[in-house]
Chains A and B, each alone.
Chain A
């Protein structure tokens, strides 16, 4: 990997990998998030259920990819896990500790262990502050360091993400998109968290920069034993970085699988359709392969279809799909799937 990161490993003494505990780092069970819709002058608006009973697990040093089209609830799932939006129901555990039940003060402490990298590197850093201030903010909030300790830590962090420690006094507008995302990652790992939620962390970057950031994330994972929830809509990116993938449709997880199985033998018709939409970098194969084009639009989340949420667009739709929601079953080849074709 990058010389920069390797070189900087020797300079950091402040952060060390953790011992392996047993069990998953993050466990989510039946997570549900409702948004209240604005009503008219009279009467209250309805509710929009953005996330419907999502369950997932992320192990130590594991990257779980979370994919789905816009509006499928993948970002909301990530944000609800960190309680940046309040979950309506369900349970989120981080190293066995129930996050949804924490009071204000405890939640603030728990934030040390779960951090987020946001999509837009242009708005995730405060333009009125030098970047050293932004990166050092987690340290200011959670640790009381002397001035010199603080600036040493900030310098270490900058070097860990492949930037020069001297950049601490620069303003965000002086950096490129990729550099800003490095800065955002530096801020997120400042407290040596257990879980990092990357919400479309590379979507706003161009392809060559994407690769650099993905490699940086992999290096940091190996070094600090991080677990990632990697939210993305770009399947190629997810294939590159994720160990397992969960596919969301209309607020539900329809399939989870080890990455290879998901891409080689998708079990859910929706996953199949998603994969067939990814262009193949070979013109002849691209022309010859069969494409599954979904009909229609994503249904209104405020008014979801009965039975299986996907039945309105599914090419294999059967009568049972319209009335009965499919149960979660083990998929052939590993993982789980939620489809009547497999029951």
Chain B
């Protein structure tokens, strides 16, 4: 062994971009996902700023000007009670987005924790959790939601809680599967060999490495939750009048499809676009959030 080989305090390759910078660069290349993100930000902003953007009181009825066409004093026309569709859609967007967030939140909490435990503990614990998950998955989602809401009473919160519970098994399975492979990584054993307590191993090593697929799944689930909310509200099991969500607006306008199509078309378009945007965003994230372990050398 020569002195030169030894003495070299090995220099690193020229500074590489951080993982985050690389993610941003790769994500930017996906124009469609970027457009979806921009659209979603706009929708969220519009919903958040509804009181400022609304041209009319969303609940104010004006029986003198019902079923007005878009244009004139009302950007998107009026409904059968003379309420401004544009203003209602803004406020309904709040309801729809919050409902989707709520369902996703419930699904993540109820899904990630058992998934981590099942994947890391293995054996009997895993078997029990996964059989319960399978049982829950065997119910048709909407039917189960309708049954629950029938028992708990129709309210959006109840409906979305149930939707969250129904979506939780997807997270359990996803997280468990990811954890199963991460658990076998040497860095987990290395951490154990240091004496790191198990909860800390899971939170510090396992969860962060399982995050990428989770983020993708959250995005895709948001789309499904939004559709589920629309379906339930359309059936009258979600948001209760006079409040509106996009789904319930369609339900109300449905009866006037022939005479006043704008009552269904605009909220329908919003649902379709938002769901699509969540899906595209999810795909884009999946493509740019790859884990990189075997680089260098």
List residues of A whose CB falls within 8 A of some B CB: 1-4, 82, 84, 107-109, 111-112, 115-116, 118-120, 122-129, 134, 137-138, 141-142, 162-164, 167, 170-179, 184, 187, 191, 208, 211-212, 215
Given contacts A126-B205, A137-B196, A141-B200, contact A3 B7 (CB under 8 A): yes
Given contacts A118-B190, A137-B191, contact A127 B293 (CB under 8 A): yes
Given contacts A4-B9, A167-B12, contact A173 B293 (CB under 8 A): yes
CB contact between B10 and one of A109, A116, A123, A176 (< 8 Å): that residue: A176
Q: Is the CB of A109 within 8 A of B195?
A: yes
Given contacts A171-B18, A174-B12, A178-B10, contact A123 B5 (CB under 8 A): no
Q: Is the CB of B186 within 8 A of A173?
A: no
Which residues of B (137-193) have their CB < 8 Å from a CB of A? 185-187, 189-193
The proximity string for B residues 264-294 relative to A, scoring 1 for CB distances below 8 Å and 0 otherwise, is 0000000000000000000000000001111
B131 contacts across to A, CB distance below 8 A: none
The proximity string for B residues 1-16 relative to A, scoring 1 for CB distances below 8 Å and 0 otherwise, is 1000111011011001
A1 contacts across to B, CB distance below 8 A: 6
Q: Is the CB of B193 within 8 A of A82?
A: yes
Bound CA–CA A84/B19 (angstroms)? 32
Q: Is the CB of A108 within 8 A of B193?
A: no
- Interface presence of B194 (CB below 8 A): yes
Q: Lowest 8 CB-CB distances: which A-B pairs, in order? A: A111-B195, A173-B295, A128-B208, A108-B195, A123-B186, A124-B186, A126-B187, A176-B297
A187 contacts across to B, CB distance below 8 A: 190, 194
Q: Is the CB of B186 within 8 A of A177?
A: no
What is the distance, in angstroms, from A10's C-beta to the closest C-beta of chain B? 16
- Interface presence of B69 (CB below 8 A): no
A116 contacts across to B, CB distance below 8 A: 190, 193
Bound CA–CA A145/B111 (angstroms)? 35
CB contact between A115 and one of B185, B187, B193, B292 (< 8 Å): that residue: B193
Given contacts A116-B193, A211-B1, contact A122 B293 (CB under 8 A): yes
CB contact between A123 and one of B185, B194, B196, B297 (< 8 Å): that residue: B185
Most buried by A among B7, B9, B12, B187: B187
Most buried by B among A126, A164, A171: A126
Residue of chain B at shortest CB distance from A82: B193
A172 contacts across to B, CB distance below 8 A: 293, 296
Q: Is the CB of A138 within 8 A of B194?
A: yes
CB contact between A124 and one of B10, B187, B208 (< 8 Å): that residue: B187
Given contacts A123-B187, A184-B190, A208-B5, contact A174 B10 (CB under 8 A): no
Q: Count the A-B residue pairs with Cβ separation under 8 angstroms: how many?
A: 117
A215 contacts across to B, CB distance below 8 A: 1, 6
CB contact between A170 and one of B12, B193, B292, B293 (< 8 Å): that residue: B12
Q: Is the CB of A142 within 8 A of B195?
A: yes
**20 further interface pairs, Cβ-Cβ under 8 Å (given A109-B195, A111-B195, A164-B9):** A108-B197, A112-B195, A115-B194, A123-B293, A124-B187, A126-B208, A127-B291, A128-B208, A129-B204, A138-B195, A141-B197, A163-B10, A172-B293, A173-B292, A176-B10, A176-B297, A179-B12, A191-B194, A208-B1, A215-B6
What is the distance, in angstroms, from B265's C-beta to the closest C-beta of chain A? 46
Q: Is the CB of A137 within 8 A of B6?
A: no
A163 contacts across to B, CB distance below 8 A: 9-10
A126 contacts across to B, CB distance below 8 A: 187, 191, 204-205, 208-209
Q: Is the CB of B189 within 8 A of A84?
A: yes
Q: Is the CB of B16 within 8 A of A174?
A: yes
What is the distance, in angstroms, from B201's C-beta to the closest C-beta of chain A? 10
Bound CA–CA A120/B190 (angstroms)? 11
The proximity string for B residues 230-247 relative to A, scoring 1 for CB distances below 8 Å and 0 otherwise, is 000000000000000000
Q: Is the CB of B292 within 8 A of A127?
A: yes
Q: Is the CB of B196 within 8 A of A84?
A: no
Q: Is the CB of A141 within 8 A of B296?
A: no
B12 contacts across to A, CB distance below 8 A: 167, 170, 174-175, 179
What is the distance, in angstroms, from A258's C-beta to the closest C-beta of chain B? 24
Bound CA–CA A184/B6 (angstroms)? 19
B200 contacts across to A, CB distance below 8 A: 141
Q: Is the CB of B296 within 8 A of A174?
A: yes
Bound CA–CA A119/B190 (angstroms)? 11
Residue of chain A at shortest CB distance from B295: A173
Q: Is the CB of B190 within 8 A of A124?
A: yes
Bound CA–CA A239/B191 (angstroms)? 30
A162 contacts across to B, CB distance below 8 A: 9-10
Which residues of B (34-53) have their CB < 8 Å from a CB of A? none
B16 contacts across to A, CB distance below 8 A: 173-174
What is the distance, in angstroms, from A42's C-beta to the closest C-beta of chain B? 18
What is the distance, in angstroms, from A332's C-beta to the closest C-beta of chain B? 34
B295 contacts across to A, CB distance below 8 A: 173-174
Given contacts A141-B197, A215-B1, A215-B6, contact A120 B13 (CB under 8 A): no
Residue of chain A at shortest CB distance from B16: A174
Q: Is the CB of B193 within 8 A of A111?
A: yes
Given contacts A128-B208, A187-B190, contact A177 B297 (CB under 8 A): yes
Residue of chain B at shortest CB distance from A128: B208
What is the distance, in angstroms, from A256's C-beta to the closest C-beta of chain B? 25
B204 contacts across to A, CB distance below 8 A: 126, 129, 137
Residue of chain B at shortest CB distance from A125: B187
Bound CA–CA A207/B13 (angstroms)? 21
CB contact between B208 and one of A129, A179, A208 (< 8 Å): that residue: A129
A124 contacts across to B, CB distance below 8 A: 186-187, 190
Given contacts A123-B185, A128-B208, A174-B296, contact A84 B193 (CB under 8 A): yes
What is the distance, in angstroms, from A55's C-beta to the closest C-beta of chain B? 23
The 12 sampled A-B contact pairs (Cβ below 8 Å) are A1-B6, A82-B193, A118-B189, A127-B291, A127-B293, A137-B194, A137-B196, A141-B195, A175-B12, A177-B297, A184-B190, A187-B190
